[in-house]
């Protein structure tokens, strides 16, 4: 087999292959030609090194872009990762040049193994659970440290050696005209070391996908969009690097009675027209399990809001609670007995207009408008 062929052909994938396809192809071929499975076979060893080099380039978006444009020349004779020379077709981006002059003091790239990726999980809970808080368990698929190599990426019993490309410095230099640009070594990714014999189980990544169940504490008072950080429960970093974090975003399901705005609970309550006229009490069971007695003043109108202090949602990571706001909706009776109708007719005969000043005033305004038109 000619090992100097195109990287995509080596990995037996299309040029449009995504990261997942590349990883799957690399692991499959690496298992087939791994030196441990083919002892003494120089051809298998050479193929294993070739596909490892191909995967190292294609899994990195910047190096892959350089390879797609310039081929292997991007990494030779002054290209990306070269130790010197002219040309420099694969310089990457402007941040590399900026970093070469000002270094890490002005936000240069972090050296050493990259931290694992952060993960997001969307969790829906009820308003009652948001009020009281809860202990929840979530199940996620996450890259964890490989159990075979314990996250090192190396076959158990093997070790690491100094990177030949950067001579163990973790950095390489390339010349572009009058400038000499220093960047992270593309072979060892700034570690200064490379794995001699990649772990067969994880293909040298030091990580393996695993389904995990994680316990999470949801504190009282969380709201829609609240973000809870679980440190170190994101994806494991490559080759033993630190894991990322898990971020849980809270979403609240619709409640059948209450609506929420911050720590305030809103509730629309229909009351009979007799209660609205004469006044009285209404009793509202709150999310706290207590029965809240709301005094309705006589003569209350629809749309009027009554506030019950301290009967709302807890303050997240604080003290106290918000309020409960009751909006009154006066209900006109639709089914009346003969006696009730008789009583209402008697009441209407005794009306003077002062009982309902708003309606009386409104019709007085209409009468005035009509008089102006007819004069």
Q: Which residues are annotated as a binding site?
A: 146, 149, 163, 166, 185, 188, 199, 202
Q: Which helix (H) or strand (E) holds 25?
A: helix 19-33
Residues linked to residue 295 through DSSP beta bridges, in sequence order: 281
Coil, strand or helix at 81 = coil
Closest to 275 (Cα-Cα) out of 306, 248, 254: 306
For residue 332, how many C-alpha atoms fall within 13 Å in the half-sphere facing its CB?
3
In whole angstroms, give the CA distance from residue 64 to residue 326.
Answer: 62
Radius of gyration of the chain (CA): 36
- The runs of H, that is alpha helices, within 34-162 are 42-58, 61-70, 94-102, 127-132
CA angle 207-208-210, nearest 5°? 130
Q: By C-alpha distance, which of 80, 40, 76, 56 is closest to 7?
A: 56
Binding residues for Zn(2+): 146, 149, 163, 166, 185, 188, 199, 202
């Amino acid at each position: 087999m000619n090992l100097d062929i195109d990287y995509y052909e080596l990995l037996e994938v299309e040029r449009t292959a995504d990261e997942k396809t590349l990883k799957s192809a690399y692991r499959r071929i690496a298992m087939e030609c791994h030196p441990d499975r083919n002892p003494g076979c120089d051809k298998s060893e050479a193929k294993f090194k070739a596909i490892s080099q191909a995967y190292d380039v294609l899994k990195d978006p910047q190096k892959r872009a350089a390879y797609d444009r310039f081929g292997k020349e991007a990494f030779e004779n002054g290209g990306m990762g070269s130790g010197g020379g002219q040309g420099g077709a694969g310089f990457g981006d402007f941040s590399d040049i900026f970093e070469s002059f000002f270094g890490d003091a002005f936000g240069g790239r972090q050296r050493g193994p990259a931290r694992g990726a952060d993960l997001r999980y969307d969790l829906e809970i009820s308003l009652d659970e948001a009020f009281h808080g809860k202990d929840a368990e979530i199940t996620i698929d996450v890259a964890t440290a490989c159990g075979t190599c314990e996250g090192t990426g190396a076959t158990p019993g093997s070790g690491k050696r100094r990177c030949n490309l950067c001579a163990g410095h973790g950095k390489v230099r390339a010349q572009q005209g009058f400038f000499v640009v220093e960047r992270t070594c593309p072979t060892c990714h700034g570690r200064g070391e490379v794995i001699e014999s990649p772990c067969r189980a994880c293909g040298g990544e030091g990580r393996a996908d695993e389904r995990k169940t994680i316990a999470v504490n949801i504190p009282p008072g969380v709201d829609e969009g609240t973000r809870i950080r679980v440190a170190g429960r994101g994806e494991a970093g490559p080759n033993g690097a630190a894991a990322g974090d898990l971020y849980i975003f809270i979403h609240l399901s619709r409640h059948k009675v209450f609506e929420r705005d911050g720590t305030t609970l809103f509730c629309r309550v229909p009351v009979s027209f007799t209660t609205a006229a004469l006044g009285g009490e209404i009793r509202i069971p709150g999310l706290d399990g207590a029965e809240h007695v709301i005094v309705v003043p006589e003569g209350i109108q629809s749309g009027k809001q009554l506030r019950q202090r301290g009967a709302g949602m807890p303050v997240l990571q604080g003290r106290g609670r918000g309020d409960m706001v009751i909006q009154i909706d006066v209900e006109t009776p639709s089914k009346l007995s003969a006696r009730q109708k008789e009583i209402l007719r008697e009441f209407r005969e005794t009306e003077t207009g002062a009982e309902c000043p708003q309606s009386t005033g409104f019709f007085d305004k209409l009468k005035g408008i009509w008089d102006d038109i007819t004069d």
